[in-house]
Amino acid sequence: MNELSKTMAAAASGMVAQSARMRLTSENIANADTPGYRRKIVSFEEMVQNATDGRVVATGPVQLDQTELQSVYDPNHPMAGEDGYYDSSNVNLMLEIADSREASRSYEANLRMFDQARQMAGSLLNLLRR
Amino acid sequence: MDLNLNILRLASTLAAHSTARQAIVTENVAQADTPGYRARDIDAFSETLASGSVFIPQVTRAGHMTFGADPRGFGSQELAAFGAETPNGNSVSLEDQMMRSAESRQTYDLALGVYQKTMDILRISIGRNR
C-alpha cells in the first residue's frame, strides 16, 4: 500500500506541475496583445520531498522570456513612439498552443496513472473484504 | 498453525514487485517534461528471484522449492532510450510508459488472482464454502 500511495503522490505532483504550466500558457495567450509583456516560462525539476514519499516533480521559478519584443507599426497607438512603432509582447501564439497541448497530454497521462494506482488499491482491499 | 505456503509468499512478492514497478512508471510519467530526467524501470521479477542478495530461501527438505524475496529489495536501472530522447536530455516516452504500466497491472491482477485462488482452496479443504 505504501508503494501505491507513493505512486499517487507522484502522479498528483505531475498534475499540479502540468496545470501550473497550463495556467502560465493561458496567461501568455491572454496577454498576447499587452504592450511590453514578456511571456512567462517555467521549468520542471525533480524533487525529493522526504525519504518515504519518493520523488515528485515540482515547478521551478517562473522566468520571463528575454527574446526581443515585437515592434508593431501603429502611429495611432497611445504608446507609439515618434516613428510610429511601439513594443508589443513577445508571445508567439503557435508556441503557446503547442505548449498547452503538450501539458494537457502529460496531464492526462498522469491522471491515467493515478487512476490505475487507485484501482490496484481497490482490488487489494477487495481481497481483504472476502 | 504455520502453513508456510510458498505460493502465497510468491504471490505477495509478485504483487509487491508490480506495485513498486507501477510507482517507478508513474514517477517517469510525472517527470515526462523535466529536463535531463532519465527514464528508469525496475529489475525484472525473474531477476529478483534469481539474485541471491534479496532471496530468502525457506527450505526444510531437499525437494522444496524456494520462492520469496524481500519486497524492499527491488533494484532499478535506467532504461535504454526508446527513441524518445528530447533535446533537453529527457528520455521518457509516454507510450512506452503506458505499456509498462499495463504490464505491471496485469502481473498485479495475476498475483492477486493466485492469492485469492489459494485462499479459496484452503477454505474448501477445511470444509467451508467459498
pLDDT tens, position by position, B68-104: 434 446 777 787 656 678 888 888 888 889 999 999 9
Chains A, B: CB contacts under 8 A, how many? 91
Q: For residues B67 and B77, what is the distance between their CA atoms, to the nearest angstrom?
A: 23
Confidence of residue B46 (pLDDT cuts 50, 70, 90): confident
CB contact under 8 A, B19 and A18: no
Q: Is the pLDDT of residue B54 over 80?
A: no
**Residues in a beta bridge with A59:** A44
Q: Which of B23, B111, B42 has the alpha carbon at shortest distance from A124? A: B111
Instruction: Work out the minimum CA distance from A93 to partner chain B, whole angstroms.
Output: 20
DSSP, collapsed to helix, strand or coil, labels residue B77 as: strand
**Pairing of the two strands A85-87 and A71-73:** antiparallel
Q: Cα separation of A58 and A36, whole Å?
A: 29
ipTM comes to: 0.81
d(CA A105, CA A87): 34
Is B19 touching A (CB cutoff 8 A)? yes
**Cross-chain CB nearest to B30 (options A4, A10, A116):** A10
Residues in chain A whose Cβ is within 8 Å of chain B: 3-4, 6-7, 10-11, 13-14, 17-18, 21, 43-46, 54-57, 102-103, 105-106, 109-110, 112-114, 116-117, 119-120, 123-124, 127, 130
CA distance linking residue B130 with residue B122, whole number of Å: 9
pLDDT band with cut points at 50, 70 and 90 for residue A72? confident
B22 contacts in chain A (CB < 8 Å): 3-4, 7, 113, 116-117, 120
Residue B90 main-chain phi, psi, to 5 deg: -90, 135
SS3 A20: helix
B32 near A CB under 8 A: yes
Contact A3, B16 (CB under 8 A): yes
Is there a contact between A11 and B29 if contact means CB atoms under 8 Å apart? yes
Q: Is there a contact between B118 and B7 (Cβ–Cβ < 8 Å)?
A: yes
Kindly state the cell numbers that stand for A53. Answer: 514519499
Contact A56, B26 (CB under 8 A): no
- Find where cell 511601439 sits: A86
Q: Which residues of B touch A45 (CB under 8 A)?
A: 34
Output A1 or B1, whichever has higher pLDDT.
Answer: A1
- What backbone torsions phi and psi does residue A47 show, to the nearest 5 degrees? -140, 135
Q: Which residues of A fall within a CB distance of 8 Å from B19? A: 3-4, 7, 120
Rounded-to-integer distance, Cα B119 and Cα B130, Å: 9
| C-alpha distances out from residue B12 to B7, B21, B109, Å | 9, 14, 11
Higher pLDDT, residue B114 or B88: B114
pLDDT range class, residue A94, cuts 50, 70, 90 = very high
The residue ranking higher by pLDDT, A106 or B44, is A106
Please report which confidence band the pLDDT of residue A52 belongs to, taking 50, 70 and 90 as the band edges: low
User: In chain A, which residues have their Cβ closer than 8 Å to the Cβ of B25?
Assistant: 113
Beta strand residue intervals within chain A, DSSP E: 40-41, 44-48, 55-59, 63-64, 71-73, 85-87
Q: Residue B59's pLDDT is what?
A: 59
SS3 B39: coil
CA–CA separation, B14 vs B6, rounded Å? 12
The alpha carbon of residue A3 and the mean position of all alpha carbons in its chain are separated, in whole angstroms, by: 26
**Looking at residue A114, what is its pLDDT?**
95
pLDDT at A40 exceeding the cut of 50: yes
Given a cut of 60, is residue A99 above it in pLDDT?
yes
Determine whether the interchain pair A46/B31 forms a contact, defined as Cβ–Cβ distance below 8 Å: yes
pLDDT at A70 over 90: no
Note the pLDDT of residue B55: 46
The 10s digit of each residue's pLDDT in A2-31 is 788 889 999 999 999 999 999 999 999 999
Greater pLDDT, A30 or B1:
A30
Give the lowest-confidence range in A40-49, B49-58, B65-74, B95-104.
B65-74
Query: Any CB–CB contact under 8 A between B7 and chain A?
Result: no
Q: Can you tell me which residue has the cell 525473474?
A: B46
Q: What's residue B60's pLDDT?
A: 67
pLDDT of residue B43: 84
